[in-house]
Amino acid sequence: MAVQNRRIGDQLWVRRSLIGLALAITLIMLVIPVVVIFTQALSTGWSAFAGNVMDEYTLDAIGLTLFVAALTVPLNLVFGTALAWSVTRFRFPGRKLLITLIDIPFAVSPVVAGLLYLLLYGRNGWLGSWLSNYDVQLMFSWPGIVMVTVFVTCPFVARELIPLMQQQGSEEEEAGVVLGASGWRIFRKITLPNIKWALIYGVVLTNARAVGEFGAVSVVSGNVRGETNTLPLHVELLYQDYNIVGAFASASLLAGIAILTLIAKAFVEWRQSRAEHATPEEGGA
Amino acid sequence: MKQLFKGIALGAALLSAQPVLAADRELLNTSYDIARELFAAYNEEFKKHWQEKTGETVEIKQSHAGSSKQAQAIIQGLKADVATFNQVTDIDILHQRGRLIPEDWADRLPNNSSPYYSTMAFLVREGNPKNIENWDDLIREDVQLVMPNPKTSGNGRYTYLAALGYAQDQFGDDQEKIDQFMADLLGQVRVFDSGGRGATTTFVERGIGDVLLTFESEVLNIADRFENGEYVAVTPKVSFLAEFPVTWIDDYVEQNGTAELAKEYLEHLYTEDSQRLLAGFNYRVHNDAVKAENADRFPELKLLSIDEITGGWENAMSTHFSSGGKLDRLQRRR
């Protein structure tokens, strides 16, 4: 450690100024804005804050946001696990292509994703015009919001699992097969314990993004207050309405969720690194 | 894992715990982004009116966003019963692209289907230090302007057209003088914000510029908000007639079975009480009694319609605001 440090920054002042710079940037770019959110939200006192949060439409927005996350996370949990399982345990044509395709939501801007869904499932879209014959409306109602949120967040779980499952290899599972275990039993007793912490990490990230997604949701939401207005959209609406305190009160809820996510993430990372360095007996616990 | 499922159960419980409002009828009003308070107040009035008239309770849902975005959403399938917008072109498009309303929608309600209107006015700083009274004061070298971008916002286009209307009124057929005035005016603009509220923020919160050019309703709204006279509203002698058009959406009210309710919702905007409510939100109205009550807040001025200035919206868009159009050329002149 000491040797390495000496090599990077020979002199004390280099090291100190680098650390100082990093801290200053973190403070200015990250910490102060978060503090400002909370001070603004509470600038007119706790009762005004509570009044803003307990507002009928804010509660509706919170409910909808949690509902969307509650549908998105399990869907992507299953999808991500199945995808990671298939590309790391089997060899098949198109496997590399599949690994690349999973990154599309990262590469595409969320607004574009929203527009794509709108053009496909909207009233004049390919699928939308067919669906409307059966009186099925996906866009501008909650299913549309869930669809784009699933799209935007679908790589997180798979991206967490694929490197880990590749590194772990399939020896343990093969041993299970040899000993005559069923597929489900192998997954439950061998695979799942091995990937547990990476899986939870993926879920934490998926949840954070699902709760905070703005761009794609904004396109397909229709902005109906009390019905299709999610918390991030609600923040924008309040801000445009000159209700700065209300906007920051809602924003502080989002920031609160983000902070909880960070704590959960730090905890999971800590458990994950312990699990990876642990002896096999401990690792299986 | 258990924690996770608990979280999901909690989320689902929260959502299902919301009270189900059992109103007899439902109506969805799509509106422009800054009309929330206005319709929150009007909806309460209308609910009472409808209940007195028919005995039924109504729940009115509101959707607010930029009116061009709202028009797109309606065309793509947002099943709104009524549209209450701040740009005529955004309702026209519901006919042209969506075939959702008839071509003559504007003739179905009085005053071109615009129950209220506004004009473009100036907001200046405390005591009007630069002595701004009319459009020709804006091209002085020492005056810096803030306005929304005519390329991206209806608000900015209205401002541009209001200035053009003044120049035409002033210089008659002298196209060279008109162009010079417009180029000079655009040259004094310090910030072109992408939208109306953005321009307001630039002027008020960031303290940039001597004059903010925007809707009179917005100008009066800010002047009222700051009670110590930090900002003064100035209405020029000539300006643009900015209509706030409304329509019910024929295809959707038929599907939703709300034709009668939607029509009544819009017609009720023309009653004296509703007009008084609209005037309270700083919009100009047509009712004579309400006009007389508010004469000092809404000074008389020469209002020019889009037809008088450019001969219609289509020409305004293609001649002035398209790529390489008049606006682009005027901005390059200086």
pLDDT of residue B22: 66
pLDDT of residue B17: 44
Sign (positive or negative) of CA dihedral A128, A130, A131, A137: positive
Q: Cβ of A63 and B33 within 8 Å?
A: no
Tens of pLDDT, residue by residue over B284-323, are 999 999 999 999 999 999 999 999 999 988 899 889 998 8
Identify the band that residue B209 occupies on the pLDDT scale cut at 50, 70 and 90: very high
Residue B40: count of CB within 10 angstroms of its CB: 13
Tens of pLDDT, residue by residue over B167-207, are 999 999 899 999 999 999 999 999 998 777 788 888 998 89
Below-50 pLDDT ranges, chain A: 1-3, 279, 281-285
Domain ranges, ordered by start, for chain A: 1-41, 45-283
How far B15 CA sits from the closest chain A CA (Å)?
5
User: If you search the block for the tokens 């207005």, which residue do you land on?
Assistant: A229
Domain ranges, ordered by start, for chain B: 19-117+243-293, 120-240+301-332
Sheet of B25-31, strands arranged across: B58-64, B25-31, B82-84, B246-248
pLDDT of residue B2: 47
For B123-148, give one letter per residue: b (16+ CB within 10 A) or e.
Answer: bbbeebeeebebbbbbbeeebebbbb
Q: Which residue has the higher pLDDT, B92 or A9?
A: B92
> To the nearest whole number, what is the mean pLDDT of chain B?
90
Do B19-117+243-293 and B120-240+301-332 have matching folds? yes
pLDDT of residue A1: 46
Q: Which of A67, A69, A224 sits opposite B61 (nearest CB)?
A: A224
pLDDT of residue A271: 84
Examine the pLDDT at B3 and tell me if it is beyond 70.
Answer: no
pLDDT of residue B102: 96
Percent of chain B with pLDDT over 70: 93
Check CB contact of A64 with chain B, cutoff 8 Å: yes
Examine the pLDDT at B15 and tell me if it is beyond 70.
Answer: no
> Residue A277, Cα to own-chain centre: how many angstroms?
26
Q: Which residues contact B225 (CB under 8 A, 6 or more apart)?
A: A242
pLDDT of residue B67: 84
Q: What is the mean pLDDT of residues B84-94?
A: 92
Contact residues, A window 175-214, toward B, CB-based 8 Å cutoff: 200, 203
Tens of pLDDT, residue by residue over B232-265, are 999 999 999 999 999 999 999 999 999 999 999 9
Q: Cβ of B76 and A223 within 8 Å?
A: no
ipTM of the complex: 0.76
For B88-97, give one letter per residue: b (16+ CB within 10 A) or e.
Answer: bbbbbbbbee
Identify the band that residue B18 occupies on the pLDDT scale cut at 50, 70 and 90: very low
The architecture that CATH gives domain A45-283 is Orthogonal Bundle (1.10)
Q: CATH classification of B19-117+243-293 is 2.40.110.10, yes or no?
A: no
pLDDT of residue A278: 63
> Nearest 5°: CA angle at B197, between B191 and B201?
60
CATH number assigned to the domain covering B120-240+301-332: 3.40.190.10
